[in-house]
């Protein structure tokens, strides 16, 4: 069965604006923003495929072209997997797509590994870094901190851009490793057996017919579920 499962991550630029002083409990209003955040780069991979990426063009610093290309990839996917993707990544992509008047589907089948870590597990932290660290699997690399973003956005430094792409690409390998670790402990969100012409009783992931009955459940409306 062909599985169109897309893993992706984005990196965004910081906003630029006016404020008086730094502090823990400071309020910066929307009217103080002079330049809004954009998507610097997107990295993604299909199933076990190689990691690919797009960036905003260091000189132009515009995310329109990368959005046009990446939304075409989103539209091919059966499932789209990101860490904190429901709250941040997909909303940021949609916001920037609307800004550029680029059409995209209103809904995608999303799997958010951050939400899975919070709802299924009791980890010290549901962050991608700490979840991978806990399970001793592929881990995030160092981004280089704020200096990398300054190098990309303000200095237009090719080495800083290369560091950011390296960081974003490795987030995909970490994300994929975490999802593969979680997969056998979570409910499937897509029935690949039926997609491939099989029956509903088959394994949704691998399509195997070697299955057994475990338990019946009865819902409040009286429907029997197995």
Helix, strand, or coil (residue 34): strand
Q: What is the pLDDT of residue 1?
A: 67
Instruction: Name residue, tokens 């897509």.
Output: 190
pLDDT over 90 (residue 214) = no
Enter the DSSP assignment of 135.
T
pLDDT tens digits along 103-137: 999 999 999 999 999 999 999 999 999 999 999 99
Class of 5-190 in CATH? alpha beta
- Structure tokens, 199: 């029956």
pLDDT tens digits along 165-189: 999 999 999 999 999 999 989 988 8
pLDDT over 90 (residue 14) = yes
C-alpha span between 166 and 172 (Å, rounded): 10
Q: How many residues does the chain have?
A: 226
pLDDT tens digits along 17-51: 998 888 888 889 999 999 999 999 999 999 989 99
Domain boundaries, the chain: 5-190, 199-226
What CA dihedral angle connects 75, 76, 80 and 85, to 10 degrees? -30
């Amino acid at each position: 069965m062909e599985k169109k499962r897309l893993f992706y991550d984005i990196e965004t630029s910081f906003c630029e604006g006016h404020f008086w002083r730094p502090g823990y409990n400071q309020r910066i209003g929307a009217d103080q923003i002079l330049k809004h955040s954009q998507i610097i780069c997107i990295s993604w991979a299909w199933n076990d495929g190689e990691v690919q990426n797009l960036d905003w063009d260091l000189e132009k610093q515009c995310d329109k072209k990368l959005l046009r290309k990446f939304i075409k990839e989103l539209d091919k996917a059966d499932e789209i997997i990101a860490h904190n993707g429901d709250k941040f990544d997909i909303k940021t992509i949609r916001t920037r797509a609307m800004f550029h008047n680029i059409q995209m589907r209103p809904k995608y089948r999303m799997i958010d590994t951050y939400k899975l870590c919070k709802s299924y597990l009791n980890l010290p932290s549901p962050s991608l870094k700490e979840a991978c660290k806990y399970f001793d699997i592929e881990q995030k690399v160092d981004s280089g901190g704020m200096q990398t973003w300054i190098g990309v956005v303000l200095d237009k430094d090719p080495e800083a851009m290369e560091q950011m792409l390296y960081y974003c690409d490795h987030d995909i390998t970490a994300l994929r490793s975490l999802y593969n670790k979680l997969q056998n402990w979570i409910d499937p969100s897509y029935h690949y057996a039926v997609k491939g012409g099989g029956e509903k009783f088959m394994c949704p992931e691998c399509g195997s017919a070697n299955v057994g009955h475990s338990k019946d459940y009865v819902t409040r409306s009286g429907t029997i579920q197995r």
